[in-house]
Amino acid sequence: MLKANLKVKVVVISLHVLLGVLLLPWQAAAGYFEYSIGFNFDRSEYGDGSFSWSRRWGTSLGYNFSDISQIEVSFQDVVNRNRYAGFEDSNYHDRIYSLNWVQSLFGKEFFFRPYVKAGVGQLNRTAVVSNYLGRRQESNVDSLTAVAGAGIKISITRAFGIRVEATSYLSGGRIKTWRDNLAGTIGGSIYF
């Protein structure tokens, strides 16, 4: 498990460096880079030792080749835990790598910039489920997925902004599955 996490981190960092090196000659043009990081956590207690919680964090590196259009490489790490005392304990760990097109409705000079995004990604899921008898079942799913999302970028300074986003990973690329993997994050962006 530790080796797998290390491999994931190495792949994410390598993708960011590769994209940065490939796009560096274009930086002198009208475009600019954007590095973002976001986080989300929620927890619910049901009593008698039953609970559910979810933790999501993600990072992305994008190149804005125009004032409103961006290509983005993104990584999301999601953990969902559900424990129902005397019944079931489940843990789902998702890692999503994606390449996205991000289209803002307004340019960088605007304080408030709504945007939409679409792309393609790789979803790697590890699920571990135990029942009240102590039986444990583990499964892995590796699936190509489509990405759809919308959000708002709020510029605080010329080099920093806040980013609020809702993203859905469409299982098998089917639009009717948009509710299956829907989540929101809040974070920050640095423009350079």
Residue 180's φ and ψ, nearest 5 degrees, are -65, -35
pLDDT at 27: 44
Q: What is the pTM of this model?
A: 0.77
Q: What is the pLDDT of residue 21?
A: 47
Domains annotated on the chain, with CATH: 2-191 (2.40.160.20)
Q: Are 122 and 145 in contact (CB under 8 A)?
A: yes
Contact at 8 Å (CB) between 70 and 60?
no
Walk along the chain (192 residues) and give the pLDDT tens digit of each residue.
545 555 555 555 555 555 554 554 444 445 899 999 999 999 999 988 899 999 999 999 999 999 899 999 999 999 999 999 889 999 999 999 999 999 999 988 899 999 999 999 999 999 999 988 889 999 998 988 899 999 999 999 989 999 999 998 887 666 777 777 788 899 999 998
Q: Which residues contact 18 (CB under 8 A, 6 or more apart)?
A: none
CA 129 – CA 127 distance, rounded (Å):
7
The amino acid at residue 144 is L
The DSSP bridge partners found for residue 185 are 165
Distances (CA, A) of 143 to 86, 94, 105, 159, 163: 32, 11, 31, 36, 27
The tokens for 72 are 């983005």
pLDDT for residue 109: 87
